[in-house]
Amino acid sequence: MNARGLLTLLVLGGLLWMSVAYLEFDTDGLFTLATLASFGRYVAQFFPPDTSGPFLIKLWSGTLETLAISALATLLAAIAGLLIAVPAAGRFGLAPRLAARFVLNALRSVPELVFAALMVIAAGLGPFPGTLALALHTTGVL
């Protein structure tokens, strides 16, 4: 390791130490018997799994909704991607090509969760904002 790498490592280590000291991070509370017992109770709630009829119906409904959201988002993204792909290929000159590629790069660089948060603000809760968020990101990917 060269001197610059060592200096970078020391600076990052110092910043990490300062942040832990500032936050007064207490590791003693993480590994107590009470904490382990609480974690054990939490994990025990998962066993045995709930296989009752009403729960399975609710689970199936959520599964179908998730599949519908992803299918519709992919369809919307494919349509939008095809519309943006033609100018991105340079068929209409340099300016539309650069603009289309900028849009595609921007859509691709924003994570789905950020789009989802923005869409929840714009459209409210429900499957619709999730569909829009996935469609926006997938448009950039396709």
pLDDT for 94 equals 92
**Alpha-carbon distances of 47 from 41, 42, 43, 52, 57, rounded to whole Å:** 10, 10, 8, 14, 19
pLDDT, one tens digit per residue, over 40-51 is 999 999 998 888
Look up tokens 């993480």; give the residue: 30
Identify the sign of the CA torsion 109, 70, 117, 60.
Answer: negative
Domains of the chain, by residue range, sit at 55-141
Asked whether residue 27 carries a pLDDT value surpassing 80, the answer given is no
What is the spatial distance between Cα 10 and Cα 3, in angstroms, rounded to a whole number? Answer: 10
Asked whether residue 3 carries a pLDDT value surpassing 90, the answer given is no
Q: What is the pTM of this model?
A: 0.68
pLDDT, one tens digit per residue, over 63-115 is 999 999 999 999 999 999 999 999 998 889 999 999 999 999 999 999 989 99
